[in-house]
Structure 1
Amino acid sequence: MTAVDETMTAINDAVTLGRQGDTATARKQLTALWDTIGAGGDPLHRVSLAHFLADLQVHAADALTWDIRALDAADALTDERAQAHHAGLSVQGFYPSLHLNLADNYRRLGAFDTARRHLDHARDRLDALDEDGYGLGVRAGIANVEAALAERSTEQLPTHPAAS
């Protein structure tokens, strides 16, 4: 039997609050957890927390900060560590979503060329995703950001988690 990862449980609890509409409390809880974990903590904890905390930011510059932290943590994460938490996880499966989020942040900040590069990185790594709800969601996100880039829009997309 695998031991319960208290930090991942706390991250998931905060994410649930955010998805239920209590984004302020979720941000506060995740920020407090980050203060505990730190920039040198467990990469799985850092990538998960930063990825979700980025989604709770209203301003693209704040989301960008957290998404860069998530990408940095993914670069330090191993499949062995990810699979110790959940057998089906692969580090490569994190990258399409991470690059998609970076592309959206840069787009919202008007850095269209940088956004396009990250969107290309996301698209190049789609083979790591299954055709399940998660994979289809990332693919739809790429299409949404692609369309917004084509319009040179800097508006927050209605599908962005902080827009709800």
Structure 2
Amino acid sequence: MTTEDKTMQHIEEAMRMQHAGDLDGARQRFTEIWEEISPDGDPFHRCVLAHYMADLQPDPRSELAWDLRALDAAASVTDDRAKQHDSSLAIRGFYPSLHLNLAADFHRLRDTAQARTHLAQAREHLDALDDDAYGHGIRSAIERLASRLAEEDPATPTGDGTA
């Protein structure tokens, strides 16, 4: 969907740079946009930008910081605001991916307890995902991470009701 929202247009341009492999250019562009909108900017803009900026971080602690910013901003986004960008969006549908990313961050940082907590929170919101390629991808990624966590410590619950 094409939007009249200039900030989202700039964020989408940076996302295209990222997907095309220009990671340094995308990181620089996201930084410029972040400086324009943060910290009092539109929470939808902050959530989307931080979510994509996290993936560009070479350091896991920096990635975690950006993923936490995305989750924090999501808490202030309303469905009405998300629908202004795309009529099919509901903010609840963001949470499986946001929590999955945090679970993966904490896993990389060897904080298994936090990884399991966020994995469980991702699962709590799975019903918000459509039965489409995106939804299947998130569900599969959650199960892959749950399997890795179970292999590392099979005696600790993974958040799905099993040990």
Deviation at 1:151, TM superposition (A): 3.7
Aligned to 1:159: none
Question: Which of the pair has more CA radius of gyration?
Answer: 2
Q: Report whether the alignment pairs 1:81 with 2:81.
A: yes
User: Separation in 2 of the partners of 1:8 and 1:86?
Assistant: 11
Aligned to 1:25: 25
Aligned to 2:37: 37
TM-score by length of 2: 0.89
Deviation at 1:129, TM superposition (A): 0.4
Which amino acid in 1 is paired with 2:43?
Answer: P
Q: What is the percentage of aligned positions where both structures have the same residue? A: 48
Unaligned runs of at least 5 residues, structure 1: 154-164
Deviation at 1:57, TM superposition (A): 1.3
In terms of mean alpha carbon deviation, does 24-33 or 144-153 score higher? 144-153
Q: Is the 8 A contact 2:3 2:9 kept in 1?
A: no
Which amino acid in 2 is paired with 1:22?
Answer: D
| CA deviations over 1:107-133 (Å, ceiling 9, x no partner) | 000000110000000011100001111
User: Separation in 2 of the partners of 1:3 and 1:115?
Assistant: 35
Which amino acid in 2 is paired with 1:102?
Answer: L
Deviation at 1:105, TM superposition (A): 0.2
| CA deviations over 1:31-88 (Å, ceiling 9, x no partner) | 1100000122101100000000011112211110000000011000001111111101
Aligned to 2:148: 148
Unaligned runs of at least 5 residues, structure 2: 154-163
Which amino acid in 2 is paired with 1:7?
Answer: T
Deviation at 1:150, TM superposition (A): 2.7
Aligned length: 152
Query: 1:43-82 to 2 correspondence within 5 Å?
Result: 43-82=43-82
User: Separation in 2 of the partners of 1:57 and 1:152?
Assistant: 25
Aligned CA-pair RMSD: 1.5
Which amino acid in 2 is paired with 1:51?
Answer: H
Distance of aligned partners of 1:21 and 1:135 in 2 relative to their CA distance in 1, 3 Å threshold? same
User: Separation in 2 of the partners of 1:145 and 1:46?
Assistant: 26
Q: Is the 8 A contact 1:103 1:117 kept in 2?
A: yes
Deviation at 1:3, TM superposition (A): 6.0
- Counterpart of 2:50 in 1: which secondary structure? helix
- Counterpart of 2:75 in 1: which secondary structure? helix
- Runs of at least 4 residues of structure 1 off by over 4 A? none
Q: Is the 8 A contact 1:79 1:89 kept in 2?
A: yes
User: Separation in 2 of the partners of 1:81 and 1:49?
Assistant: 15
Q: Is the 8 A contact 2:3 2:85 kept in 1?
A: no
